[in-house]
Chains A and B, each alone.
Chain A
């Protein structure tokens, strides 16, 4: 599209009709999901549970000036 053609109104279908495949974006997305899969199976996601086990009964606030 040229400068003078910058649209005021255009629907998604129209926008996508002139678009190209975003291969790089798709690859990054796949990489992210793979990484999450690995993290889930390696138990990395347990950090919050471990933190909670330590913190649950700690007193957070009782101080006077």
Chain B
């Protein structure tokens, strides 16, 4: 019979500096669910930043309880319906009473939390860590999806901005479930349109025509699409390789993948047999040098994808082959790198009818047609950056841009007056030198709710000229460049 202490005090453990190993060892003595694998992964990610852990011995985790009710409770050895939870802080906490008496002293130092489940080895349940508080993250070049999660510690409210992670338990859930759960939880936490989904919901939605779905069966693309559609998204599949063994990646499809990442969608990427979620990227401006190209896609500056892989601490970096930071080389049997991605699934919203490939084709036609005017805005090569955004976000950024510079940008404020569809494609174009400084000179805005035979163009701005409704006008004296639309992944 499972018993639980009604008096279950929070405890704090110092893990900063010299007390690192000792602190984790002491914590493990009390937190019996914490496995060596759990410690190894948490310690790897939190080394150098975490100075104390607050241990919550009995925590009712909605995700674990959902799996317990539907699966673990049916076993002879049922385990526990309770979990433990660890909260990480970057400053020492001497006594829990200090945290309860003056929570404001600790709020900025809250790194995040991890639920520790009573399962074999893969004990890390729902875990939310703020990546910008970790070591080895260069905030200038690191772009990653985050959303706010609220927690309560001893009656005090704390907030953490991060992407949800869980490990697979290897019993009922596999990597595909962990990745899908992360996508669904991120979306439901960020947007009220989506309902909260629990791990066993994903298991139940797995197709039964291939036999029993648990314990431990991999998912097919049909399963993916069924689950994501039931959840309320409209998934599309990007096929980067014809066959898993192909060395070459379809460049156009890779650009589409980068575009969806740039647009703020978490993408489920398959390495042929294993699934991870791509939630962001890092960039390196030195990857492209001025040359003979006229147009360069912004994905050329991609250094690494930021991924959530259930086998490791979240926010791993998937680099190109030979990248010393590439986490994929740590796999024992098979090494992974960016070229290992065979397919990717993007959970698009319903009303995005014009897809990335078509939006790119069309916007590039306008760029080529207006190359003479573009040349007047700066020296080639020109960097093109395509992304999807919403009408309110776009207008908010435009209004910020209008009055954010040394001179009022009338055209940025003017386009915020337009009646726009809910989703729009935006292609920004910048001469390379301006792109590196975070500016662009041209933008083309298209209606993402358009059909393929319709005119999707809404407006095009080149420097101080605006083209709209089949007419164009130049506003002399208006700034000719404006800030890029950045941070659309929610990373700031």
The answer to whether residues A12 and B417 also contact, given A19-B473, A20-B472, A24-B370 and a CB cut-off of 8 A, is: yes
A27 → chain B closest CB, angstroms? 8
Contact A29 B343 (CB under 8 A): no
Q: List 8 A-B contacts (CB under 8 A).
A: A10-B414, A32-B361, A55-B221, A56-B222, A58-B221, A61-B176, A61-B273, A62-B175
Q: Which residues of B contact A8 (CB under 8 A)?
A: 408, 410
The answer to whether residues A6 and B477 also contact, given A20-B472, A61-B270 and a CB cut-off of 8 A, is: yes
A59 CB contact (under 8 Å) in B219, B268, B345, B466: B219
Contact A28 B220 (CB under 8 A): no
B473 CB contact (under 8 Å) in A16, A26, A29: A16
A18 close to B (CB within 8 Å): yes
Contact A62 B472 (CB under 8 A): no
B221 CB contact (under 8 Å) in A5, A6, A15, A56: A56
A54-B222 Cα distance, complex, nearest whole Å: 11
A61 → chain B closest CB, angstroms? 3
Q: Which residues of A contact B210 (CB under 8 A)?
A: 57
Q: Which residues of B contact A58 (CB under 8 A)?
A: 220-221
Contact A22 B470 (CB under 8 A): yes
B478 close to A (CB within 8 Å): yes
The answer to whether residues A28 and B365 also contact, given A61-B175, A61-B218, A62-B218 and a CB cut-off of 8 A, is: yes
- Give residues of chain B (190-224) contacting chain A, Cβ–Cβ below 8 Å: 210, 216-222, 224
Contact B410 A21 (CB under 8 A): no
Contact B455 A56 (CB under 8 A): no
* Total chain B interface residues with beta-carbon distance under 8 A: 59
B174 close to A (CB within 8 Å): yes
B46 close to A (CB within 8 Å): no
B residues adjacent to A (C-beta < 8 A): 168, 170, 174-176, 179, 210, 216-222, 224, 236-237, 239, 268, 270, 273-275, 311, 331-332, 343, 345, 358, 361-362, 365-366, 369-370, 408, 410, 414, 417-418, 452-455, 457, 460, 466-478
The answer to whether residues A37 and B369 also contact, given A1-B477, A61-B218 and a CB cut-off of 8 A, is: no
A16 → chain B closest CB, angstroms? 5
Contact B275 A60 (CB under 8 A): yes
Residue of B nearest to A51 (CB): B239
Contact A15 B473 (CB under 8 A): yes
A1-B383 Cα distance, complex, nearest whole Å: 30
The answer to whether residues A56 and B476 also contact, given A16-B471, A22-B467, A25-B470 and a CB cut-off of 8 A, is: no
A2-B428 Cα distance, complex, nearest whole Å: 26
Contact B369 A28 (CB under 8 A): yes
A64 close to B (CB within 8 Å): yes
Residue of A nearest to B244 (CB): A58
Residue of A nearest to B417 (CB): A12
Known: A61-B175, A61-B275. 19 other contacts (CB 8 A): A3-B476, A6-B477, A7-B410, A11-B417, A12-B417, A15-B468, A16-B473, A19-B472, A22-B470, A24-B369, A37-B453, A40-B452, A52-B237, A55-B237, A61-B174, A62-B176, A62-B219, A62-B273, A63-B218
A42 → chain B closest CB, angstroms? 13
